[in-house]
Chains A and B, each alone.
Chain A
């Protein structure tokens, strides 16, 4: 694959984790709201996405859109080299294989997960989340797997657990590797859910009064608490992750961890808030090829 030469942004510690530092972040987020990057309720999802792509093109010159699947690693060749070395033969292959077994195990009525999706479940993950008119809510890929189970008389898998749902999507999402994110926000009802997700993303929350955007838009590429902040663009494209090659984490599992770190009470797995947030973030990553089950630090 092409490795773009990245002129790494100058890393300066944005925040040392102290409350004062978080307040600086919150102010930055407030300033961001005024830049028009986000606020206007009248901007369409596609306008938001294009503005975001332009913003990051300015911040990370030379990084191709598809490279945003690598997250914070676009800003560190050292991190990227370790990722490639591990991904060449990753330590979590057993988990993916366990997921493959669950995927292929028939339900009591003889049907399988593959029967619920076009093309046996290949190249479908990029269509999720989607707004389901009949259900009147956003459905994630995990939600679709559970709808499949329920349609076929099986109880749903719990979200946020390594087994069985975590390993199931560790396998099932790989069937869509290379598919470009392709989320649709086509109807007024869908747009309302997108807008709710966007609102949460830019809202200051929690005891530290910080917003997701404050870090992942305005300060992507900068360092905070010794970590390079990853950009919002591409965030939705690479799940689940295996932290340290070992700990399986889903996208909403990451929402939970982040909200806890922001000292905000997390919403729940498959909650409207998180499904809408995932919907918003996934739309922003439209056009970026997906890659499931990846190593992260």
Chain B
């Protein structure tokens, strides 16, 4: 039997499966505070499904989400992105790449003093919007940035 946490779209079954795997592995005491694994969101093949499955509904566009990313990615395999949320009460940052085969790239939960800032490197298959959603004060906010990805003739 499976039940879903309201607005999250994650099945209890997959959560338990992951928890069992993790308990068998290394993260024993830490899992008590982690959110359930967003498997359904990760599996989604279009960004609207991914957003919905991640429990993101009607995110408000925000200029308080600062994205630093290239205009034209030198290589789609290693695209550096920096995200800073100036929204008070930010506790989660979600990253999507609209045109990736699976748009949901990852989420970052901040707690116990971690600042709502993350810098990482992601894969992009083609020119696409980078879509950042922030949960702050229980509400969702969003900003996007187009990143061009080319495969040049001499690059191959």
Assess A/B contact in the complex (Cβ within 8 A): yes
- Expressed in whole angstroms, the Cα–Cα distance for A224 and B154 within the complex equals 8
Instruction: Say whether A225 contacts B75, CB under 8 Å.
Output: no
Which B residues are CB-close (under 8 A) to A244? Answer: 74-78
Between A and B, 6 residue pairs with Cβ closer than 8 Å are: A79-B72, A226-B150, A226-B152, A243-B75, A244-B75, A297-B75
Instruction: Say whether B155 contacts A297, CB under 8 Å.
Output: yes
Interchain nearest-CB distance for A22 vs B (Å): 11
Instruction: Say whether A82 contacts B77, CB under 8 Å.
Output: no
Interchain nearest-CB distance for B45 vs A (Å): 25
Q: Does A151 contact B (CB under 8 A)?
A: no
Instruction: Say whether A82 contacts B80, CB under 8 Å.
Output: yes
Interface hits, B48-75 → A, CB 8 Å:
70-75
Looking at chain B's contact residues, the main secondary structure is: loop
Interface hits, B15-33 → A, CB 8 Å:
none
Stretch of A49-57, A83-91, A105-113 with 4 or more beta carbons under 8 angstroms from chain B: A83-91
Interchain nearest-CB distance for A252 vs B (Å): 17
- Expressed in whole angstroms, the Cα–Cα distance for A201 and B75 within the complex equals 28
CB-CB nearest in chain B for A261:
B154
Interchain nearest-CB distance for A248 vs B (Å): 14
Q: Does B121 contact A (CB under 8 A)?
A: yes
A residues with a Cβ closer than 8 A to B are 17, 78-79, 81-83, 85-86, 91, 224-227, 243-246, 258, 261, 295-297
- Expressed in whole angstroms, the Cα–Cα distance for A85 and B150 within the complex equals 19
Q: Does B113 contact A (CB under 8 A)?
A: no
Instruction: Say whether B73 contacts A82, CB under 8 Å.
Output: yes
Instruction: Say whether A81 contacts B70, CB under 8 Å.
Output: yes
CB-CB nearest in chain B for A227:
B152
Instruction: Say whether B153 contacts A246, CB under 8 Å.
Output: no
Which B residues are CB-close (under 8 A) to A261? Answer: 153-154
- Expressed in whole angstroms, the Cα–Cα distance for A246 and B74 within the complex equals 13
Which B residues are CB-close (under 8 A) to A243? Answer: 75, 155
From B121, B152, B153, give the contact of A91 (CB < 8 A).
Answer: B121
Which B residues are CB-close (under 8 A) to A295? Answer: 74, 78
B residues with a Cβ closer than 8 A to A are 70-80, 121, 150-155
CB-CB nearest in chain B for A260:
B156
Apart from A78-B72, A82-B80, A224-B154, 4 more pairs, CB < 8 Å: A78-B71, A86-B78, A91-B78, A244-B78
Instruction: Say whether A245 contacts B80, CB under 8 Å.
Output: no
Which A residues are CB-close (under 8 A) to B154? Answer: 224-225, 227, 258, 261
CB-CB nearest in chain A for B82:
A85
Looking at chain A's contact residues, the main secondary structure is: mixed
Which A residues are CB-close (under 8 A) to B70? Answer: 78-79, 81-82
What are the 7 A-B residue pairs with the smallest beta carbon separation, nearest first?
A: A225-B153, A227-B152, A297-B74, A244-B75, A85-B80, A226-B152, A245-B78
Instruction: Say whether B73 contacts A245, CB under 8 Å.
Output: no
CB-CB nearest in chain B for A81:
B70
Which B residues are CB-close (under 8 A) to A297? Answer: 74-75, 152, 155
- Expressed in whole angstroms, the Cα–Cα distance for A91 and B120 within the complex equals 12
- Expressed in whole angstroms, the Cα–Cα distance for A297 and B72 within the complex equals 11
Which B residues are CB-close (under 8 A) to A81? Answer: 70
Instruction: Say whether B72 contacts A227, CB under 8 Å.
Output: no
Most-contacted residue by chain B among A224, A227, A297 (CB, 10 A)? A297
CB-CB nearest in chain B for A230:
B154
From B72, B73, B77, B155, give the contact of A246 (CB < 8 A).
Answer: B77
Interchain nearest-CB distance for B119 vs A (Å): 8
Most-contacted residue by chain A among B80, B152, B154 (CB, 10 A)? B154
CB-CB nearest in chain B for A228:
B152
- Expressed in whole angstroms, the Cα–Cα distance for A82 and B73 within the complex equals 8
Which A residues are CB-close (under 8 A) to B74? Answer: 79, 82-83, 244, 295-297
CB-CB nearest in chain A for B75:
A244
CB-CB nearest in chain A for B119:
A85
Which A residues are CB-close (under 8 A) to B78? Answer: 86, 91, 244-246, 295
Interchain nearest-CB distance for B75 vs A (Å): 4
- Expressed in whole angstroms, the Cα–Cα distance for A79 and B73 within the complex equals 8
